[in-house]
Structure 1
Amino acid sequence: MSLKQQALSGMLWSSIQTFGNQFISFGVSIILARLLLPAEFGLIGMIGIFMGIGGALISSGLSASLIRTTNPDQADYSTVFVFNLVGSIVVYALIFMAAPYIASFFKQQILVEITRLYSLSFIISAFTAVQITRLHKHMNFKSETRASLISTLVSGVLGIALAYLGFGVMSLVWMGLAGALVNTVMLWVQSGWKPSLLFDKQKFRYHFGFGSRMMFSGILDILFTNAYIIIIGKFYAPAQLGYYNRADSLKQLPVSTFSGILNKVTYPLFAEIKNDDVRLKSVYKQIMKMVIFIIAPVLVIMGVLGEPLFRFLFTEKWLPAVPYFQIMCAAGILYPLHAYNLNILSVKGRSDLFLRLEIIKKLLLVGVLAASFPFGILGLIWGQVIFSMIAFFINTHYSGKFLKYSSLEQLQDITPLLLLAALSGAGTYAISYFLSDSHDAVRLVAGGFSGMLFFLILARVFRLESGQFIADLLKKKLPASIPIPFIKYL
């Protein structure tokens, strides 16, 4: 199968997986939000940082190294598998012993049981890391999609049933474990690959040499991204952390859906064309503008309609999360640009620069946190917006040099999209205000439809390249000069 055909197939199955998982997970989250209390979601949020760090320690960035390695063999895959499995057991033991201290820090004794049980997912997931990496390496997402959708559905049904029966926060724990277990079993049945019990020290040093920097970068990112959760969980009631997590998860819905589909496919694609800087820049530029064209108006309109959206989906008890959500939407717009710029460094093999940027950004985040903490939770979230804007220029520094596509050039390309998104948000607000006495469903449909329509009309009037690109994409009329073969024939 050619690179074009592989990417096309990967895009299709990745889209099915992402949209399917988002649809199922979103439906499950709506039901659970009605059955459980915000404080119970806050308890799960408190251990999120430890789960994230544990996952980063286990993988150690070796999966990314396997993807960028040309023709890895059985010894490469088995070495990484053995390391992941042994590492998962060690990490679980450490977190098991640390559970009482975690509970003491947050002053929530129930976190001992939650942490020890939930962290079993480390060992379960260690069995699938290499299988998933092999699928990504070959842009074969069909088996992963099947396993992911079924595991999400099964675990979601279990979580709802347990919540209905009164298991409270433990319904979320068992749901997470069930999803990991079902996904693991299905991937082992379908993948067709089995590890050999061997550990090649030379290959390990090769992969760890690249992956260790990715690991430390990942740990830094998880640690500082979850700094907000630590601070809110430590100094505020669990319910406030529940509101924060609910706002963040809803904001991430469009971001992770649209950028996630492309990110999963484009990383191995970038790796294939990493030595052709002209082509790499052209591919990156088109993807960046296409994603912002979609994400910017969606986040702006969702933010404007935050109150009726939360009341309609999650009931009145979740309305305190609305101000958090509206601010987070502004910070989320630039997220895809952060990820894509760092992907360039990764495929270029410059994990040293990747780590250097992460250290710089985390030092910056410490300053932002210190400055915004005195202003309460809203101040902390506004700090996220400021940090996201500054981080954009940091992330684009080295990738801009590699591609000859500077931060200012990238910003210049997306500024028209951001301005039109802001105008569409203003139109949405006017419609929603006019219909303020109507049912929330009416406000959401009328405001959302009119806002998107207004954005598309403006894009057409001002002849934005991204709008025409997507229109041609849907009509399958892209010119042959566009060097994006995996998109051209969608």
Structure 2
Amino acid sequence: MSLKNKAVSGLIWTFAQQFSVQIINFGVQVILARILLPEEFGLIAMLHIFIAIGTNLLDGGMTSSLIRTENPDQKDYSTVFFVNLFASVFIYLVVFMMAPNVGEFFNQPILNNVLRVYALSFIIRAFVAVQTTRLTKEMNFKLQMKMQIPSVILGGLSGVILALNGYGVWSLVWLNLIQSFLFMVMHWWFSEWKPIMIIDKEKFKYHFEFGYKITLSSLLYTLYRNVYTIIIGKYFSAAQVGFYFQAETLRMYPVQHITTALDKVTYPMFSSIQNDKNSLKIYYKKTMQAVLFLIVPVMTLLLIFANDVFLLVLGEKWLPSVPLFQILCISGALQPLQNYNLNILKVKGRSDLLLKLNLITKIIPMVLIFAIIPLGIYGIVWFQSLFAFVLFYINSYYSGRFVNFGIFEQIKDVWIIFGISILTGVFIYFLNNWIIVNMPIPILVRIIINFLFYGLLYLLIASFSINIFKFYKELLMKLKF
């Protein structure tokens, strides 16, 4: 199968995997949001930074190195597997010992035991990281989907049952652990690859040399993404952490999961043509346009009708999240651009430049954020949203040089998408306020009518302005089941 056909087939399957899994997860989270209190979600949010850091440290970025390595052998995979496994045990022990300090920092003693149990996910993930990487490198997303969906369903059911029986925050902990464990079992049952007991020093050195810079970059990004939760958790109540957490989670649902689905395909695909600058630019440009064509209108709709969406999906007790959510949506569509610009640096093997960029773009806001604390939670969220535009400019400038695709050319290629989306959004906003909102119809029907009107008008205008439909038609024509 050609690279193009393989990428298209992989893209379809990874989208199917990503969306089916996230639809299930979203349904579970909606049910849990109606059962549990904002404070209980806030407690889990406080621990995200520690779980994320442990996950980043887990493999030293070596799984990324495996993907970009041409023809890795059993020594490559087994070396990374056992290094991951030993590292996961060490990281878990460190987290176990520091758990009381975490509870003391947030003034939440319950976090001591919660973190110690939740962190078991490090060891579970170490048993599956290389198998997942190998399937991703082979673009075998069909098998990944078949293994992940059962684990997500069973884990979700477990979490809901525990929540209904009064387990509170523990229902969220066990939901994640059960999902991770079942996903690991599925890989060991269905995956053809099994490790052999070997740690090759040369292989370790090769993958670690590339991977540790990726890890440091990921750590900086993780700290940056979670510093807002840490600050809110330290200086504000657990309920406010919960409101912020829910706003950020819902904001990232369409952004993160569309982007993640494309990342799984594009990173190995880009790696395979890393030395062909012209082809790399063409594929990169098409990918960026395709993802923005989907994400920008979604974020526009969510921003405009946030109040109705929260009221319908999560219930009245989560309405304090709405203004936070709307502020975050302003910069939500920039996230894919950030990811693909940084992916170019990884593909080109410039993990050193990636690390330098992250040092500049992540440390500065993490320092400045302390000056924003007196402005309250809204000041913090406004800072987070607006600083994303600064990050976009810096990342685009440096990564664009490697494929002759600078920031102004990138803006030129995508501005029309933003323009059509905003223009359509303004029209639908006034249509809703003048006519639809006064109609005696349920909130669900009102949302559906607004979304349908928006979608039809957006596609109609886009059909005359954007040559993107050919790309999606190609995806459908090349689909291999």
TM-score of the two chains, using structure 1 as the length reference: 0.94
1:471/1:287 CA distance change after superposition, 3 Å? closer
In the other structure, the counterpart of 2:314 is 314
Q: Deviations over 1:413-432 (max 9, x none)?
A: 21121121111221222233
Deviation at 1:315, TM superposition (A): 0.8
In the other structure, the counterpart of 2:166 is 166
In the other structure, the counterpart of 1:436 is 437
Tell me the distance in 2 between the aligned counterparts of 1:146 and 1:171.
25
Tell me the distance in 2 between the aligned counterparts of 1:283 and 1:2.
14
In the other structure, the counterpart of 2:274 is 274
1:471/1:212 CA distance change after superposition, 3 Å? closer
Does residue 454 (structure 1) correspond to residue 460 (structure 2)? The answer is: no
In the other structure, the counterpart of 2:403 is 403
Tell me the distance in 2 between the aligned counterparts of 1:36 and 1:473.
44
Deviation at 1:5, TM superposition (A): 4.0
1:442/1:6 CA distance change after superposition, 3 Å? same
2:285 is paired with a residue whose SS is helix
Deviation at 1:460, TM superposition (A): 2.7
In the other structure, the counterpart of 2:334 is 334
Q: Deviations over 1:55-91 (max 9, x none)?
A: 0111210000011111111111111111100000000
Aligned length: 478
2:381 is paired with a residue whose SS is helix
> Which structure 2 segments of 5+ residues have no match?
none
Does residue 74 (structure 1) correspond to residue 60 (structure 2)? The answer is: no
Tell me the distance in 2 between the aligned counterparts of 1:223 and 1:154.
31
Deviation at 1:261, TM superposition (A): 1.7
1:310 is paired with a residue whose SS is helix
In the other structure, the counterpart of 2:12 is 12
Q: Deviations over 1:67-126 (max 9, x none)?
A: 111111111111111110000000000000000000000000100110000000100110
Tell me the distance in 2 between the aligned counterparts of 1:147 and 1:283.
29
Deviation at 1:240, TM superposition (A): 0.8
Tell me the distance in 1 between the aligned counterparts of 2:473 and 2:21.
28
Tell me the distance in 2 between the aligned counterparts of 1:471 and 1:234.
46
CA contact (8 A) 1:35 1:164 kept: yes
Deviation at 1:371, TM superposition (A): 4.5
Tell me the distance in 1 between the aligned counterparts of 2:134 and 2:149.
19
Q: RMSD of the TM alignment (CA)?
A: 1.6
CA contact (8 A) 2:289 2:414 kept: yes
Does residue 418 (structure 1) correspond to residue 424 (structure 2)? The answer is: no
Tell me the distance in 1 between the aligned counterparts of 2:79 and 2:328.
41
Deviation at 1:472, TM superposition (A): 4.2
Q: Deviations over 1:296-334 (max 9, x none)?
A: 011011111100100001110000000111111111111
1:6/1:35 CA distance change after superposition, 3 Å? same
Deviation at 1:470, TM superposition (A): 4.6
Deviation at 1:475, TM superposition (A): 7.2
CA contact (8 A) 2:20 2:149 kept: yes
Deviation at 1:258, TM superposition (A): 2.0
Tell me the distance in 2 between the aligned counterparts of 1:224 and 1:73.
36
CA contact (8 A) 1:85 1:127 kept: yes
Tell me the distance in 1 between the aligned counterparts of 2:268 and 2:116.
35
Tell me the distance in 2 between the aligned counterparts of 1:70 and 1:395.
27
Does residue 195 (structure 1) correspond to residue 184 (structure 2)? The answer is: no
The residue correspondences of 1:15-34 to structure 2 (distance < 5 A) are 15-34=15-34
In the other structure, the counterpart of 1:127 is 127
CA contact (8 A) 2:8 2:475 kept: no
The residue correspondences of 1:34-433 to structure 2 (distance < 5 A) are 34-433=34-433
1:61/1:474 CA distance change after superposition, 3 Å? closer
Q: What is the identity, as a one-letter code, of the residue corresponding to 1:436?
A: V
Q: What is the identity, as a one-letter code, of the residue corresponding to 2:199?
A: F
Tell me the distance in 1 between the aligned counterparts of 2:437 and 2:103.
44
CA contact (8 A) 1:6 1:138 kept: no
1:332 is paired with a residue whose SS is coil
Tell me the distance in 1 between the aligned counterparts of 2:68 and 2:476.
33
Deviation at 1:374, TM superposition (A): 2.5
Q: What is the identity, as a one-letter code, of the residue corresponding to 2:277?
A: D
Tell me the distance in 2 between the aligned counterparts of 1:125 and 1:475.
33
2:194 is paired with a residue whose SS is coil
Overall identity of the aligned pairs, in %: 44
1:372/1:447 CA distance change after superposition, 3 Å? farther
CA contact (8 A) 2:227 2:366 kept: no
1:474/1:269 CA distance change after superposition, 3 Å? closer
Match of 1:445 among 421, 444, 448: 448
Q: What is the identity, as a one-letter code, of the residue corresponding to 2:180?
A: A
2:82 is paired with a residue whose SS is helix
> Which structure 1 segments of 5+ residues have no match?
477-485
TM-score of the two chains, using structure 2 as the length reference: 0.96
CA contact (8 A) 1:301 1:424 kept: no
2:193 is paired with a residue whose SS is coil
Deviation at 1:389, TM superposition (A): 0.5
1:331 is paired with a residue whose SS is coil
Q: What is the identity, as a one-letter code, of the residue corresponding to 1:123?
A: I
Deviation at 1:454, TM superposition (A): 2.1
